[in-house]
Amino acid sequence: MRRAGMILTAVLVFAAAAVAQMQPPKPGPEVKKLDVFVGTWILDGNMKPGMMGPGGSMTENEKCEWMDGGFYLVCHSDYKSTMGNGVGLSVMGYSADDKAYTYREFNSFGEFEDSKGILDGDTWTWTSEEKMGTMTMKGRFTIKVTSASSYNFTFEMSQDGTKWGTVMDGKASKK
């Protein structure tokens, strides 16, 4: 019995030492590329008339910061448009399994957005499926980084994923 107690103590000491040596995971280089979005941004957009409504101007204030651990970028936004005003919460990250960036947004209109993104040079392309009643449309949000403090954006929709129509475009500037 005494021998079993000594073996158990040795195993526990060894396990405690192994846990003490383990380092918390660190974000990979793909995650760090999201750093471009950190800060407070003002987005000025032009919504095109169409199935989404009459069109008009849109302004959004967005503040993005890293969640503890550095794996996810959390953004809070408030927006004003001809279609109404609201607030949103979004989270960006990177899925090593899918080898794609992730974007999830919830807003005060009760909408939920789930997109996958790729980065090609200075252009981010986020794709999603948009539900509009009984119809499902494809969405594409493209960001072209023009400097450390600005980017241009375009949101397009398509029924079939081949013919795209612009829903909104504009420019974002870091405060």
Domain ranges across the chain = 27-174
Residue 8, judged by CB atoms within 10 A of its CB (0-12, 13-18, 19+), counts as exposed
- Kindly tell me the number of DSSP H helices and DSSP E strands found in the chain: 2, 10
CB 130 within 8 A of CB 145: no
Instruction: Check residue 17 and give its pLDDT.
Output: 55
Instruction: Indicate if the pLDDT at residue 133 is higher than 90.
Output: no
Mean pLDDT, rounded, for 16-44:
87
CA angle 158, 151, 161 (to 5 degrees): 10
What is the per-residue DSSP string for 102-155? Answer: EEEEEETTS-EEEEEEEEETTEEEEEEEEEETTEEEEEEEEEEEEETTEEEEEE
Instruction: Indicate if the pLDDT at residue 15 is higher than 90.
Output: no
Superfamily name and number for 27-174: Calycin beta-barrel core domain (2.40.128.20)
Instruction: Check residue 9 and give its pLDDT.
Output: 59
Q: What is the largest CA-CA distance in the chain?
A: 82
Instruction: Check residue 172 and give its pLDDT.
Output: 98
CB 101 within 8 A of CB 87: no
Mean pLDDT, rounded, for 114-118:
97
CA 112, chain centre distance (Å): 12
Q: Which residue has the higher pLDDT, 21 or 139?
A: 139
Instruction: Indicate if the pLDDT at residue 132 is higher than 80.
Output: no
Write out pLDDT tens, residues 57-81. Answer: 999 999 999 999 999 999 999 999 9
